[in-house]
Amino acid sequence: QKEVEQNSGPLSVPEGAIASLNCTYSDRVSQSFFWYRQYSGKSPELIMSIYSNGDKEDGRFTAQLNKASQYVSLLIRDSQPSDSATYLCAVKPNTDKLIFGTGTRLQVFP
Amino acid sequence: NAGVMQNPRHLVRRRGQEARLRCSPMKGHSHVYWYRQLPEEGLKFMVYLQKENIIDESGMPKERFSAEFPKEGPSILRIQQVVRGDSAAYFCASSVTGGAIGNTEAFFGQGTRLTVV
């Protein structure tokens, strides 16, 4: 079992819709969770961090964490073509290294 | 406050040469991570360092690869006797702390694209 799993996609949504990106992790002691966005040929950019169960909202982005289910998700409301990118889920077990999933490619079409 | 600085941005090496990749963390950050990314693939963890200490190098190949983060100066990822399979993008990230929660957000540099010919 991979430490951090994501569906590779592509996930295609129309402009204005809600995009839902999902991630599961294997290490129960994980405490910190992050979502990064990576455009093709560019470096990953941090867009959300979440540390406790529940929802965390920042603009059009909402991160959701369920530690009991070992599940973290990212919702993007009012999706725009500029949101088209690969979204990387990252998990930090305790004081250890930051582990990334392989990413989900999101395509927002006009 | 400058972000994470990596240099060079592009590096071309012939097979058998050495590649040196540099990473200066954000001001106030003492934790550095190195990742490798092949085209159309995810980020593969290589090594996690604090100043003067290697915390976790479980992702580093056993031979030819080494990393350091001296008390003064940037973190260095060194690849000796490069082979074509080393061609990839190498990203560095830094964070304030390495703790479980709080201030653990890691920010990435622009990466070094290594091409071995």
In which region does residue A54 sit, left (phi positive, over 0), alpha (psi from -120 to 50) or beta (all else)? left
User: Is residue B103 pLDDT above 70, yes or no?
Assistant: no
User: Is residue B1 pLDDT above 60, yes or no?
Assistant: no
Mean pLDDT (whole number) for B98-111: 78
Query: Which chain A residues are within 8 Å of B109, Cβ to Cβ?
Result: 43
Q: Tell me whether residues B100 and A103 touch, CB distance under 8 A.
A: no
User: Which tokens hold the place of B116?
Assistant: 């071995």
Contact between A83 and A108 under an 8 Å Cβ cutoff? The reply is yes
Q: Tell me whether residues A88 and B102 touch, CB distance under 8 A.
A: no
User: Is residue A3 pLDDT above 80, yes or no?
Assistant: yes
Give the number of other Cβ atoms within 10 Å of residue A41's Cβ: 9
Give me the residue from A43, A44, A92 closest to B104, CB to CB: A92
pLDDT of residue B99: 59
Of the listed ranges A24-33, A87-96, B64-73, the one predicted with least confidence: A87-96
Reported as a pLDDT band with limits 50, 70 and 90, residue A8 is confident
Reported as a pLDDT band with limits 50, 70 and 90, residue B97 is confident
User: Which tokens hold the place of A56?
Assistant: 């965390």
B20-40 pLDDT, tens digit per residue, is 999 999 998 989 999 999 887
H or E element at residue A76: strand A71-76
Task: Nearest chain B residue to A4 by CA: give it.
Answer: B42
Task: Nearest chain A residue to B58 by CA: give it.
Answer: A97
Buried b (16+ CB within 10 A) or exposed e, A77-103: eebeeebbbbbbbbbbbeebbbbbbbb
User: Is residue A1 pLDDT above 80, yes or no?
Assistant: no
Q: Tell me whether residues B106 and A51 touch, CB distance under 8 A.
A: no
Q: Tell me whether residues A43 and B111 touch, CB distance under 8 A.
A: yes
Mean pLDDT of chain A: 93
* High-pLDDT (> 90) share of chain B, %: 79
Of the listed ranges A38-52, B41-55, B94-108, the one predicted with least confidence: B94-108
Q: Which residue has the tokens 């550095």?
A: B32
Distance CA B2, CA B13 (A): 28
Distance CA A71, CA B115 (A): 37
A19-73 pLDDT, tens digit per residue, is 999 999 998 888 889 999 999 999 999 999 999 999 999 999 999 999 999 999 9
* High-pLDDT (> 70) share of chain A, %: 96
Cβ-based neighbours of B62, under 8 Å, separated by 6 or more: none
Among A98, A99, A100, A104, the residue to mutate for chain B (most B Cβ within 10 A): A98
Among A5, A97, A105, the residue to mutate for chain B (most B Cβ within 10 A): A97
